[in-house]
């Protein structure tokens, strides 16, 4: 089944340059409806207000980490099945394991290329 590239996508990162980079890569892959948030609480507000088909979140943010955001998304019956990718420089094995246990769909280590993003998204959403 083809991936619906018109789905709403949320990019969460406290570093605006990273949001621009991820948005640009997603646009190169054909995604057009991309929102962003610079912290977890703002992301949660957006997730409650709109239906998203994909969330990409940084790990290291405050006041809420990407890991805490993932836990909140997974704890809500309405949002628990949204594909969630952690996009982070945190390559520690214990973080990857914790994120997997919390229900992350995939994990992307910064820096990454368009090819890596496409491969990780395809593993979660289906062939792009």
One DSSP character per residue, 32-75 reads -EEEEESSHHHHHHHHHHS--SEEEE-SS-SSS-HHHHHHHHHH
| pLDDT attached to residue 2 | 81
Confidence band of 108 (pLDDT split at 50, 70, 90) = very high
Q: What is the pLDDT of residues 47-103, one digit of tens each?
A: 999 999 999 999 999 999 999 999 999 999 999 999 999 998 878 899 989 999 999
CATH of 8-125, one of 1.10.443.10, 3.40.50.2300, 1.10.1530.10, 3.30.465.10: 3.40.50.2300
- Sequence-distant (6+) residues with CB within 8 A of 64 are 39, 40, 41, 44, 72
Q: CB neighbours of 72 closer than 8 A, spacing ≥ 6?
A: 40, 44, 64
Give the Cα separation of 66 and 68 in Å (integer): 5
State the pLDDT at residue 67. 97
The sign of the torsion formed by the CA atoms of 16, 33, 123, 47 equals positive
Quote the pLDDT of residue 90: 78
- Global confidence as pTM: 0.97
pLDDT range class, residue 1, cuts 50, 70, 90: low
pLDDT for position 126: 95
Q: Give tens-digit pLDDT for 10-53.
A: 999 999 999 999 999 999 999 999 999 999 999 999 999 999 99
pLDDT for res 120: 97
Phi, psi of 77 (to 5 degrees): -55, -35
């Amino acid at each position: 089944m083809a991936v619906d590239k018109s789905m709403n996508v949320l990019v969460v990162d406290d570093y605006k340059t990273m949001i621009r980079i991820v948005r640009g890569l997603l646009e190169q892959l054909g995604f057009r409806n991309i929102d962003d948030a610079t912290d977890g609480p703002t992301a949660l507000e957006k997730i409650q207000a709109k239906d998203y088909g994909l969330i990409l979140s940084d790990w290291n943010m405050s006041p809420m980490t990407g890991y805490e955001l993932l836990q909140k998304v997974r704890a809500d019956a309405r949002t628990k099945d949204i594909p969630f990718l952690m996009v982070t420089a945190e390559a520690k094995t214990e973080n990857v394991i914790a994120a997997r246990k919390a229900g992350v769909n995939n994990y992307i280590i910064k820096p990454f290329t368009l090819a890596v993003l496409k491969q990780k998204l395809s593993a979660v959403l289906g062939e792009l």
